[in-house]
Structure 1
C-alpha cells in the first residue's frame, strides 16, 4: 500500500493480529469452513467449532460422506442450521462433480 493510512493500518495489524487457526492456511477447504462458521458467529465461539469440525471432517470428501446427523451434532450450538445444510450440499456437489 502506498498511502500513509494503509501503511499505518497494516503496521497496526502486524502488531495486534490474533493468532487464528484459519490464518496462514492455504487450504481452500479450511478457509471455506472458517468463512461459513464465522457468519453470524463471534470469533471466540467459532474457533472451537472450527477446530472440532476440521478434526472430524479434514477435507471436502469426508464432509461429503458424512451423515446429516453427524454434521448437525457438531454444529449444535452455532444456530443457523441452513449453513450446515449448505456446507453438506456443496461438499457433495464438489465430490460428485469434481472429485
Structure 2
C-alpha cells in the first residue's frame, strides 16, 4: 500500500483492509472485484491485483503461510527487489 503513498495516508486504508482480509487465505478467497472497494482512494490498482494474486500463490504454494525464504517470496506476483528486502528485513529479521 505504501508504494508511492505516504504511510500516514495509507494507515486508514490498511486498517480497513486488514479488518476485512486478515490472512492471505481471506484475501485469496474473494474475487478481485471485492478487493477494489477497500483499495479505492489509493490508486495504482495494479498493486491490489498483484497483492490478490500473491495471496492466492501463498495459499496454493505455501499453505497460507507467507514464505520466509527469500527465493520463494521473490517468486510471488508483484514482488520486486525493494519489497523483497523490506519484507525480509522487517518481518523475518
Counterpart in the other structure of 2:28: 64
Q: Kindly name which structure, 1 or 2, has the bigger radius of gyration based on alpha carbons.
A: 1
Q: CA deviation at 1:56?
A: 0.3
Output aligned runs, 1:26-37, within 5 Å.
Answer: 37=1
Counterpart in the other structure of 2:40: 76
RMSD of equivalent CA atoms: 0.8
- Does residue 88 in structure 1 map to residue 52 in structure 2? yes
Q: CA deviation at 1:98?
A: 1.5
Question: Tell me, which stretches of 5 or more residues in structure 2 are unaligned?
Answer: 64-93
Q: CA deviation at 1:59?
A: 0.7
Output aligned runs, 1:11-22, within 5 Å.
Answer: none
Q: CA deviation at 1:42?
A: 1.3
- Does residue 43 in structure 1 map to residue 19 in structure 2? no
TM-score (norm 2): 0.65
Structure 1 residue ranges (4+ consecutive) displaced by more than 2 angstroms after TM superposition: none
TM-score (norm 1): 0.61
Question: Tell me, which stretches of 5 or more residues in structure 1 are unaligned?
Answer: 1-36
